[in-house]
Amino acid sequence: MLNSKSFVSIALLLCLALFSVHAFATYDPHQEDHFSYYEVVDVGSGTGIYSDYTDQTIVIGTVSVKGVTADGIVSAHYGYTWNFSSNDGSIDSGGSSGDFSFSSNTFLYINGTDDQTGYVNPTAWFCMDSSIPEGGTFYLLNTAMTVKSRDYSYYLPPENRNVYAIFAQGNSDYERDDDYGQFTATYTWNTYFDPSSGYIIGYDYVEHDTNSSGAGFTYTEKLYITSASYTLKTAPTTGLAVISELMKYAVLIVVAVILVAILLIVLFVVSRNRRRLPKHPSQRPVYTPPSEPPPPPPQDINLTPKQAPVQQIVIKEVVKVNCRYCGALINSTAEKCPFCGAPRS
């Protein structure tokens, strides 16, 4: 039976075994891997002779893998077109295409490049080892990059959604000497790669050029893929999108709280003004015993209705006689005549 110490030891060994293996998948190219991209190059915000100058270049291109050898040599093909315009009326266009190869182990170009010039022994710019952890470093062209995040939420304009990406950043400088002139250039390069395949998703490049004469300008490149053979996973929105969503929810919550408050106030006012109704009596009467016993019922009960006594009238007959003096009829019991006053007899 394993005791607690043995269990802990086995758990530690398992953890060490797991960490000895790459936590993430490495870059593994396959034949027919491909992507298309859209790039906008802007020059502006100038000083000196460039104070009122702007130009823009639109680049549309593709990169595709044609084959992979056993030792990791990737054969690829590139192609792109570009259109240039400036505010002084200049326009131009062109393009390029061709084959090249690079190593999937070191990422160094081996035979040709995808028309990358001005670099010394550069590495491919469009892919990386996706097993590099946060804080790890690698090279793109001649720029040292550092992985800042492995689960960055990157907004992809063509698909109008955010996707998970490896976010890497590089900062450096160089001496520019081309059609723009001689300048000291400092730049920041933010790049975004698919965490599964290691292929490019997009990048933002910002460069500031200055010289001793006071002339200068800002040079920017913004690139993102428009289609690809690798599947990208949807990620939650970030930054201003999150703030916007939170504000929407906040407004809805405030409106809901106000409506609830108004409803409660209305219910309170109605309840205060409502006429109170008397309580209904109980359905079953409650018997209360009398404090004193009721009086005894009458002994004689006469159900015959009472009648008023009959008034008796006694009629007496009186004999009338003629007064012997005046002849008037008078009672025979009268002692004298009420008319002439003479005695009856």
- pLDDT for 257: 75
Instruction: Walk me through the domains of the chain, giving residue ranges and CATH numbers.
Output: 24-237 (2.30.230)
- pLDDT for 333: 77
Q: Measured between alpha carbons, how far is 295 from 314 in angstroms, rounded to an integer? A: 46
Asked if residues 94 and 82 have their Cβ atoms less than 8 Å apart, the reply is yes
Contacts of 4 (CB under 8 A, 6+ apart): none
DSSP readout, 30-93?
A: -TT-EEEEEEEEEEEEEEGGGTT--EEEEEEEEEEEEEE-TT-EEEEEEEEEEEEEETTS-EEE
Q: Does residue 7 sit in helix, strand or coil?
A: helix
* AA letter at 186: T
**Which structure tokens are listed for 254?**
């405030």
- pLDDT for 52: 95
Write the CA distances from 253 to 192, 236, 240, 247, 259, integer angstroms: 36, 22, 20, 10, 10
Q: Which uninterrupted H or E stretch holds 273?
A: helix 240-273
Q: Please tell me the pTM assigned to this model.
A: 0.64
Burial class (CB in 10 A: 0-12, 13-18, 19+), 264: exposed
DSSP readout, 219-271?
A: EEEEEEEEEESSPPPB----THHHHHHHHHHHHHHHHHHHHHHHHHHHHHHHH
Q: Report the 10 Å Cβ neighbour count for 317.
A: 4
- pLDDT for 340: 84
- pLDDT for 137: 98
Tell me which residues of the chain have a pLDDT lower than 70: 1-25, 238-249, 251, 270-318, 345
Q: What is the separation, in whole angstroms, between the first and last Cα of the chain?
A: 169
